[in-house]
Amino acid sequence: MPDLLLELRSEEIPARMQRKAAGDLRKMLTDGLVEAGLTYEAAREYWTPRRLALDIRGLTPRSKDIREEIKGPSTTAPEQAVQGFLRKAGLSSIAEAHIHSDPKKGDFYVAHISKPGRAAEEIIAELVPGIIKSFPWPKSMRWGPASAKPGSLRWVRPLQSIVCTFGPETEEPVVVDFEIDGIRAGNVTYGHRFHAPGAITVRRFDDYVAKLEAAKVVLDADRRKEIILHDARNIAFANGLDLVEDEGLLEEVSGLVEWPIVLMGEFEQDFLTIPGEVIRLTIRANQKCFVTRPQGAGEDLSNRFILVANIEANDGGKEIAYGNGKVVRARLSDALYFWKTDQGDLPDLDQLRESAAKFDLDLKKPLDQRMARLDHLNVTFHAKLGTQGARVERIKRLAEELAPVVGADPALVARAAVLAKADLQTEVVGEFPELQGAMGRKYALLQGEHASVAAAAEEHYKPQGPSDRVPTDPVSVAVALADKLDTLTGFWAIDEKPTGSKDPFALRRAALGVVRILIENRIRLSLTSVFAKAFANFKGGADQSSDLLAFFHDRLKAYLRDQGARHDLIDAVITPQSDDLLQIVRRVEALGSLLDTEEGKNLLAGTKRAANILAAEEKKKTLVAETVETALFREEAEKKLNAAVNQAEKEAGQAIQNEDFSAAMLALSVLREPVDSFFEGVLVNDEDQAVRANRLALLARIRTATDQVADFSKIVG
Amino acid sequence: MTIDIPAHMHPSRSFQGLILTLHNYWADYGCLILQPYDMEVGAGTFHPATTLRALGPLPWNAAYVQPSRRPKDGRYGENPNRLQHYYQYQVILKPNPPNLQELYLGSLEAIGVDPLLHDIRFVEDDWESPTLGAWGLGWECWCDGMEVSQFTYFQQVCGIECAPVAGELTYGLERLAMYVQGVDNVYDLNFNGREGAEKVTYGDVFLQAEQEYSRHNFEFANTAMLLRHFEDAEAECKALLDAGTPKPSDNLPMHRMVFPAYDQCIKASHVFNLLDARGVISVTERQSYILRVRNLAKACGEAFLKTRAGGLAAA
């Protein structure tokens, strides 16, 4: 069976797009081949910065001939029917049709249609140009003289050549001939840009890979990654260092070279006074180099870094390592400048006095100055939600309100809140926005803030998602809650809520953050009353309170489901007014424990039966008495159930008052026996209408008694 | 291309020698060698020889040095790599020739960068100039990890699709010179290639200016005045475009005042950069200023298409 080799060679493809593009190419081509009636044994894609390649093995050389018969009308049918048949079968005259005989129907026309199979080359030549024209690059471009006209070919960068050969292993493969916008498929490619600039003629995948390798191109990206990782570890180890591994960077770097050569560079020890995270990000983001640590040195970095070159340099890489070292030094000089500038005075302190007074800031301290400037510059948070300064004021007020609820020192909370956003005005965060919070903490410690205040600068952004750590320090908790609740109420007040997949302000994440902080820290909080305070800051927000609460209910449900809680139990305990998330969770837990017992299961069955009967009778408009009349009881079981319901309702109500949900459940579970006996011994549908109405009223009492704990009708099973 | 020039003209010794070598290389290829635009701009792209000439169907090949001002990058002359005023070498080829990468690599070899000794790489960089309403795809060109050039296939300029696409090469001359001269501090660059008493360094020429302009950019530039200048430039740009608009009675609907209007767009852009350096523009205002400059650039680009160099043919 023949094999297909396809290579699309272009100018340098962005590293981050290569893997997916090669996969797309395989999928699009193999899908197309199969759809055209071909089969293949195996297909694998490859890529380098300058090429996407595809190796398809065991492709059928032709698609099968297709024969089909289309039955037509009787030979005696009117002309109109015959014409219809000709059109349908695609025949030009009835003479082309065959006549078949049937003992019952007599003679009728049949069209014999035969579609001959097509050569694979022909199918490939037709498919590939279409795939190239419709290729799903995230961004594509036009180029050269052809771009003067509309509709010219687009590719990620200029497409230079196409290799497309096809043939069995035992024969000389043929070039599949096609052309797209002046690029004609052939069997010529090029190796490494500098090491092997000459043309290479290839036959099939095996010699293609070998010839590329000889021309200093490692075609397989995963092999390039292995080479880089292996050599980087070795060179680090040989120098008494450990490589700080970074899969994302490794993937990117493997997409920047065709012939990876690992080298080591260095910078001055002095730069190690910069926080390690800043050094790593500086070197990674700008230079795509790996950092190292002295062996066994914990988190500290060493002053040597690892770079990956694309050439085997004449001097063994000395110039390259030296040059890279220079650039890294320049970048670190910038980082050091930012780091030091952030710890020094701002030039225009006099202008900042008013803002400083507003937040009770000490203008002798660098971070205080940054907060004053954040306010002074009127930096906008959101066009409809005002400035960052105003936002910090709101967060501070709300955090102070929350301080006693979460058990935090209000003075520390106030200080933490006014410093929490100050690092947005630092140079380091300007350069690396992902370090917001982390830098605030470092600078706060450097100016001697209380450890909790410093921690809050970082932790108030947490948790960032379902798996991020939840802050536990009460100061962090107060500021984190205030920050998130301010954001949520603000966006609700201006009606910028998440819709479908759109959540540009990450409001779902903020609400989930509140949920996790409250529940994982076991904090009781009435959201409705906090909303009232927070909404008071915004015009027209108050009527959004119940909508926002419902949004929290959804987040809570999602969170509890992820924790393995039954969604029906959550639905059973949540009412539109439930505004204490921890209480909801406790109810769910208690309900779950109850339903794990025999009593609970039977009680559930009994209450459901009661509810079903009631529902059926209510539908039939059967009279249900307003209240239960003991005088109308005929059976002992009725009396017992009535007494038990009254008792259980009272005890459960009491327990709920005391927030003892287990006790409430226990009180209800006592109902199991009388409910069972009632259904065993009493016929609800008594002939006496008054008795029947009274019995139905008793069943309704079961529902009201249980409703105060949970809506049993929502529980499944 | 072998270099047959006196030692003091050699790019590895002389900053001006580097410029002259690039001029020679691109002139030899067939570029017009233009002179810098006589206004304050943030990058070589702002020169009308790029911004406006990239538009329309007419072929255009030009190269020039453009002094570029980035007020925010001032470091009072204390940073060895960062300058608020520096030189860009700009090459614009419309339509881009198919071997533009090879031509670019040839220019590096011309200035003495051996690609088998130095690691030259094309690293993704989607170029965008929000103020010019321009974008393109291309790369940062790295030499041993240092970005020495920007390589862009213009897709859109002034909000208008480029047809055909122009290739733009922008060399950071100081960085490149530091590289080929092997110096670590920009101010140590040998400017004229001479030694001893005759030697003039980059610092001799520019250090004082860097210090003074840093003070100006960050501390003393009169922001109230600059805000007025911005408004004035914006209004003037619109007024000139308006005044030059073809009249219904014209035989050929030709715009008659694009270049002067575009000057005002450049001016607004630079004033905005100064205001930004002074820290008086908040994040949201920033967007709206950029948008205002972009609207001017778009209007200029559209007007340019109604001129002869924009491809307007005589009726």
b/e burial code for range B48-65 (CB count within 10 A of at least 16 → b) = bbbbbbbbbeeebbbbbb
Q: Are residues B172 and B195 in the same domain?
A: yes
Nearest CA in chain B to A316: B117
Confidence of residue B283 (pLDDT cuts 50, 70, 90): low
Does residue B46 sit at the A interface (CB-CB below 8 Å)? no
Q: Which of residues 235-254 of B touch A (CB under 8 A)?
A: none
Q: What is the DSSP string of A460-482?
A: TT---STTSPPP-SHHHHHHHHH
Q: Which of residues 79-98 of B touch A (CB under 8 A)?
A: 79-82, 95-98
Confidence of residue B315 (pLDDT cuts 50, 70, 90): very low
* A330–B137 C-beta distance less than 8 A: no
Q: Indicate whether B177 belongs to any domain.
A: yes
Reported residue count of chain B is 315
Q: Are residues B210 and B227 in the same domain?
A: no
Global pTM?
Answer: 0.78
Task: Give me the residue spans of the domains in chain A.
Answer: 3-61+119-214, 66-115, 221-341, 379-564, 590-714
Residue ranges in chain A modelled with pLDDT below 70: 540-542, 717
Cis peptide before B36 (omega within 30 of 0): no
In the predicted model, is pLDDT for residue B101 greater than 80? yes
Nearest CA in chain B to A284: B145
CB atoms within 10 A of CB A559: 20
* B284–A380 C-beta distance less than 8 A: yes
Q: Are residues B230 and B278 in the same domain?
A: yes
pLDDT, position A358: 94
Q: Are residues B21 and B129 in the same domain?
A: yes
Does residue A146 sit at the B interface (CB-CB below 8 Å)? yes
The H or E element that residue A689 is part of is: helix A689-707
In the predicted model, is pLDDT for residue B251 greater than 80? yes
CA neighbor of A466 nearest in space, from A503, A419, A519, A429: A519
Domain-ending residue, one of B216, B249, B278: B216
Q: How many domains does chain B have?
A: 2
pLDDT, position B89: 98
User: What distance in Å separates the CA atoms of residue A650 and residue A662, rounded to the nearest whole number?
Assistant: 15
- Residue A245 CB burial class (10 angstroms; 0-12, 13-18, ≥19): exposed
Q: Are residues B155 and B292 in the same domain?
A: no
* B114–A287 C-beta distance less than 8 A: no
- Chain B contacts of A157, Cβ < 8 Å? 137-138, 153
pLDDT, position B44: 95
Q: Indicate whether B246 belongs to any domain.
A: yes
Give residue-wise pLDDT tens across range B230-250.
Answer: 999 999 999 999 999 999 888
Residue type, B4: D
pLDDT, position A671: 85
Assign residue B281 the CATH number of its domain: 1.20.58.180
Nearest Cβ partner for B96 among A143, A311, A324:
A143
- Pairing of β A241-243 and β A188-190: unpaired
pLDDT average, residue stretch B2-31: 91
pLDDT, position A378: 83
* A315–B114 C-beta distance less than 8 A: no
- Residue A563 CB burial class (10 angstroms; 0-12, 13-18, ≥19): exposed
- DSSP class of B251: S
pLDDT, position A542: 63
Residue with tokens 């803030």: A449
Nearest CA in chain B to A320: B144
pLDDT, position A227: 98
pLDDT average, residue stretch B194-205: 97
Q: Are residues B186 and B256 in the same domain?
A: no
**According to DSSP H, which parts of A544-597 are helical?**
545-562, 567-573, 581-596
Chain A nearest-CA distance from B233, in A, is 25
* A142–B79 C-beta distance less than 8 A: no
Q: Indicate whether B191 belongs to any domain.
A: yes
Q: Are residues B98 and B136 in the same domain?
A: yes
pLDDT, position A672: 84
Residue B242 structural domain: 222-304
Give residue-wise pLDDT tens across range A421-470.
Answer: 999 999 999 888 889 999 999 999 999 999 999 999 999 999 988 889 99
Give residue-wise pLDDT tens across range A178-222.
Answer: 999 999 999 999 999 999 999 999 999 999 999 999 999 999 999
Domain-ending residue, one of B197, B216, B235: B216
In the predicted model, is pLDDT for residue B280 greater than 70? yes
Chain B nearest-CA distance from A209, in A, is 23
Q: Is there a contact between B19 and B173 (Cβ–Cβ < 8 Å)? A: yes
Q: Are residues B206 and B294 in the same domain?
A: no
Provide the token pair at A644.
Answer: 């038990």
pLDDT average, residue stretch B151-179: 96
* A323–B143 C-beta distance less than 8 A: yes
Domain-ending residue, one of B216, B247, B276: B216
Confidence of residue B3 (pLDDT cuts 50, 70, 90): low
Residue type, A47: W
Nearest Cβ partner for B95 among A148, A310, A323:
A148
Q: Is there a contact between A453 and A416 (Cβ–Cβ < 8 Å)? A: yes
- Chain B contacts of A378, Cβ < 8 Å? 282
In the predicted model, is pLDDT for residue B314 greater than 60? no
- Chain A contacts of B282, Cβ < 8 Å? 377-380, 387
Nearest CA in chain A to B176: A323
Under DSSP, is residue A99 helix (H, G, I), strand (E, B) or coil?
strand
Give residue-wise pLDDT tens across range A77-118.
Answer: 888 888 888 888 888 888 888 888 888 878 888 888 888 889
Q: Which of residues 172-231 of B touch A (CB under 8 A)?
A: 179, 184, 218-219
**CB hemisphere CA count around B184 (13 angstroms):** 12
* A320–B280 C-beta distance less than 8 A: no
pLDDT, position A622: 76
Nearest Cβ partner for B121 among A157, A256, A387:
A256
Provide the token pair at A682.
Answer: 């009493």
* B145–A328 C-beta distance less than 8 A: yes
Assign residue B57 the CATH number of its domain: 3.30.930.10
Q: Indicate whether B291 belongs to any domain.
A: yes
Does residue B116 sit at the A interface (CB-CB below 8 Å)? yes
Q: Are residues B228 and B194 in the same domain?
A: no
In CATH terms, the fold of domain A590-714 is Isoleucyl-tRNA Synthetase; Domain 1 (1.10.730)
pLDDT average, residue stretch B34-45: 96
Give residue-wise pLDDT tens across range B55-70.
Answer: 999 999 999 999 999 9
* B126–A314 C-beta distance less than 8 A: no
Does residue B284 sit at the A interface (CB-CB below 8 Å)? yes
Q: Are residues B175 and B283 in the same domain?
A: no
Residue with tokens 């180029």: A143
* B123–A141 C-beta distance less than 8 A: no
pLDDT, position B1: 47
Q: Indicate whether B75 belongs to any domain.
A: yes
- Could you give the C-alpha distances from A448 to A453, A454, A709, B42, in angstroms and in order? 10, 9, 51, 41
Please report, to the nearest 10 degrees, the dihedral formed by the alpha carbons of residues A280, A285, A286, A289 taken in order: 60
Q: Indicate whether B250 belongs to any domain.
A: yes
In CATH terms, the fold of domain A379-564 is Hypothetical protein af1432 (1.10.3210)
Chain B nearest-CA distance from A520, in A, is 36
- Chain A contacts of B94, Cβ < 8 Å? none
* B122–A147 C-beta distance less than 8 A: no
